[in-house]
A and B are shown apart, each in its own frame.
Chain A
Amino acid sequence: MVFFAQGKTSDRAKELIDDAMAMVDAGCFSIMCEVTSQEVCEYLTEILPVPVISLGAGNRAHGVHIITSDLFHLYEEHTPRHSKIYHDLIPIMENVFTQYRDEVKSRVYPGPEHTVYMNDQEIAKFAKEMNWETKLAELDAARK
């Protein structure tokens, strides 16, 4: 989705101010400005009696909003101009998924450290009682 910033002309800015005023009159405890020009957000911050929060509307408001996924680049489809990628998790996820995929294909994962075993006595008993030939052969080979 492509956004167009709002409130870059004086006329549109006045409409947005009217929208914000209408919502404060309706009793809103706070106003969030999403991708307006900084001037719209700054003006509202000066005149409104409630906290104004900026989402991509500059750094003059009482507070700031960001979308979690935008901090980590988790929505690859679109990165808005105002979002700041503090850490790109996509290459990290790709790297981990690749390692896992390859370790399954090459039979590296799961290793002994990730695995639970019966003790020797119980294995022998279990193999014998079940007549589990492949395991009995394996135990025989280990004894030799």
Chain B
Amino acid sequence: MTDLSVPRKKITIRGLQKKMQEGEGIVQMAIYDYRSAVIADRLGIDILCVSDTGGMVLFGHESTVTVSFEEVMMMSQAVDRGSKYGLRMVDMPYWSFHVSPEQAVENAGKFISRANAEVMKCEGNQHHAKNIEAIVKAGIPVQGHIGVTPMRMPQLGGFFRSR
């Protein structure tokens, strides 16, 4: 059991680096509602990632590409209201950072100013790197997401189940 009476430290990027060096597993969860945020934060989850997957689970989207900016914003605000210690990360929604460095910075900033997010997560590859770099240079940390990147499913050879 987690001892809830012991004061805890806010999770920071520096804290994550320390865990990495000391070999302590970093616990990251996709969280997209207030109650899950409260419980995860109470139990010491390191990174609360507001995932666009929440748009599938909560709102019934068939994939993440149709989950809207405002839906991700609402989930981000809910998670912010429910958490104190965990690092608050937002999975930037489809086409919110792909167009240009300016668009990427503009939209990342909205998650900070409107949802009190601390860091972003961006699906990306070599081609998106300059937009991601612009976000980082503007002062917003980013976790890069590679491998199966659901926003690029057709190129990766995945497919959607027919209705």
Contacts and interface: CB of A to CB of B under 8 A. Distances in A.
B160 A32 contact: no
Contacts of A51: 16-17, 19-20, 26
Interface stretch (B2-10, B107-115, B138-146): B138-146
A41 B30 CA distance: 19
Interface stretch (A61-69, A90-98, A100-108, A128-136): A61-69
Interface in A1-53: 1-7, 16, 18-20, 22-36, 40-41, 50-51, 53
B121 A32 contact: yes
Which range contains the number of A residues in contact with the other chain? 35 or more
Which range contains the number of B residues in contact with the other chain? 35 or more
A26 to B, nearest CB: 4
A64 B25 contact: yes
Nearest to B160: A1
Most buried by A among B31, B32, B129, B144: B144
Nearest to A4: B157
Contacts of A67: 29-30, 51, 53, 57
Interface in A97-139: none
Interface string B141-158: 111111111100100111
A65 B158 contact: no
Contacts of A4: 148, 156-158
Most buried by B among A3, A30, A34: A30
A63 B124 contact: no
Given A23-B124, A64-B28, A65-B28, A1 B158 contact: yes
B62 interface: yes
Contacts of A16: 146-147
B46 A26 contact: no
Interface string B15-27: 0110110000111
A57 B157 CA distance: 18
